[in-house]
Amino acid sequence: MSTNPQLPVRPTTSLKLLSLSHACVDIYQGAVAALVPFFLSERAYSYAAASGIVLAASLLSSVAQPLFGALTDRWAMPWLLPVSALTGGVGVALSGLSGSYALTLAVVAVAGIGVAAYHPESARIARIASRGSHTAMGLFSLGGNIGFATAPLMVSAVIATGGLHASPLLVVPALAGAALCVAALRTVPLPATAATTAAVGGRPAGRDDWPAFLQMSGAVVCRSIVFVGLSSFLSLYARQRTEGGEFAGTAALFVLYLGGAIGTVAGGRLATRYGRITVVRWSYALTVPAVAGVVLVPGPLLYLFIALTSAGLYVPFSLHVTLGQDYLPRRVGTAGGVTLGLTVSVGGLASPLIGAAADAASLQTALTPLIALPALGWLLLRTLHEPEMPENVSATAPAPQGNTTSVSRS
């Protein structure tokens, strides 16, 4: 049983463009959580009501991600990238215009569908551009993490200045993201099927290993609940624990997201040296004491534990994607939809439970169970193995050039 080969691939122009577009789209995943404090202050929502908005963005996204993934396994759908970027941005941009809670839920849900549509196809195309390189795929994931990191700063700058009615200004990154998607698609030769995508990505399509894939996905769900739970309430919690104001909360979210950008880059490099499974296991193990520090340690030291938590959550992020695609080499769209989308979005399903616990007791009480989840993820990963390579295949074989179709430049 051999480890996944590493191909000496430098990031291409198309991969860089995809990474930038990923940043623009994932701003809208981070923006929903960043809007929560403003919904609480301007509309006097309870914790549970505010977390329901996070749920609205996550619920349809969770359902839609694997559906879009299954579709992209059957047909190449590159047009989804610019369309989904615009959809996600428009949904968030409209969220501050109406005082109606139902309408706010609806437009945020539309944003969630837009984000859902983007990830499976973008992961398939990024695999082609990266040719199977962990480091190159790390660059693609880094773009999404930068988007998350930028979201609270952008939301704070716009909404703190103009109030929720200034939310239409939040559509600007979506316009940029759509343009970047179009530019990227003009440079990538796209296979029509998942099996061909796996081959172009650096390894031939072998057998799908569903048990290993589902085992890994269970661990990623644990990570997702921790990440989304912290994203939804960390801004408010940091204000309480540091006795700071709005800046203290924005800074906490920024550290959480920016540390993820650093962790993603480190993850690809560490996996090249030590192997993906080893790096993923250690990341989950080290996240346990880091989350405990976030929940239990007061004062400015909180920010150190936020940074450590961010690194622990994000070092395995791009490795989840490549492992998932290698466990399901004939269904890379589905794998991307689950690892980049479903298991990320499903964390939002736990947000109302955390919000209800915070209303009934306190935020610290509500966040305490998050300490145990990385430990559960580590247990799920204990027996996980590297994906098997088909026999008699050279690890350094160049990517096939046939059976590809170029995207129209019209």
Per-residue pLDDT tens over the stretch 45-87: 887 788 788 778 777 777 787 788 888 888 888 899 999 999 9
Confidence of residue 391 (pLDDT cuts 50, 70, 90): very low
Q: Is residue 257 part of a domain?
A: yes
Q: Which of 50, 45, 377 is nearest to 231 (CA)?
A: 50
Report d(CA 349, CA 351) in Å as an integer.
6
3-class secondary structure for 157-203? HHHHHHCHHHHHHHHHHHHHHHHHHHHHHCCCEEECCHHHHHHHCCC
- CA 291 and chain centroid, separation: 19
CATH code of residue 52:
1.20.1250.20
Q: Is residue 19 part of a domain?
A: yes
Residue range(s) defining the domain that contains residue 22: 13-388
Confidence of residue 398 (pLDDT cuts 50, 70, 90): very low
Q: Quick one: pLDDT at residue 402?
A: 35
Confidence of residue 190 (pLDDT cuts 50, 70, 90): low
Report d(CA 167, CA 320) in Å as an integer.
33
User: How much is the mean pLDDT over the chain?
Assistant: 81
Residue found under tokens 């190449």: 76
Q: Is residue 6 part of a domain?
A: no
Q: Quick one: pLDDT at residue 129?
A: 80
pTM (predicted TM-score): 0.69
Q: What is the DSSP letter of 186?
A: T
Q: Is residue 407 part of a domain?
A: no
* 403 vs 124, residue with greater confidence: 124
The 10 Å CB-count burial string (b at 16+, else e) for 25-39 is: bbbbbbbbbbbbbbb
The 10 Å CB-count burial string (b at 16+, else e) for 332-357 is: bbbbbbbbbbbbbbbbbbbbbbbbeb
Confidence of residue 295 (pLDDT cuts 50, 70, 90): very high
Confidence of residue 351 (pLDDT cuts 50, 70, 90): confident
> Kind and range of the H or E element at 256?
helix 246-274
How many structural domains is the chain composed of?
A: 1
At residue 39, does pLDDT exceed 50? yes
What are the tokens at 295? Answer: 């929940």
At residue 38, does pLDDT exceed 70? yes
Helix extents (H) in 6-100: 13-43, 47-74, 80-94
Q: Quick one: pLDDT at residue 5?
A: 43
Q: Is residue 396 part of a domain?
A: no
Contacts of 339 (CB under 8 A, 6+ apart): 123, 216, 217, 220, 320, 321, 323, 324, 325
Q: What is the DSSP letter of 340?
A: I
Q: Residues 339, 321: contact at Cβ < 8 Å?
A: yes
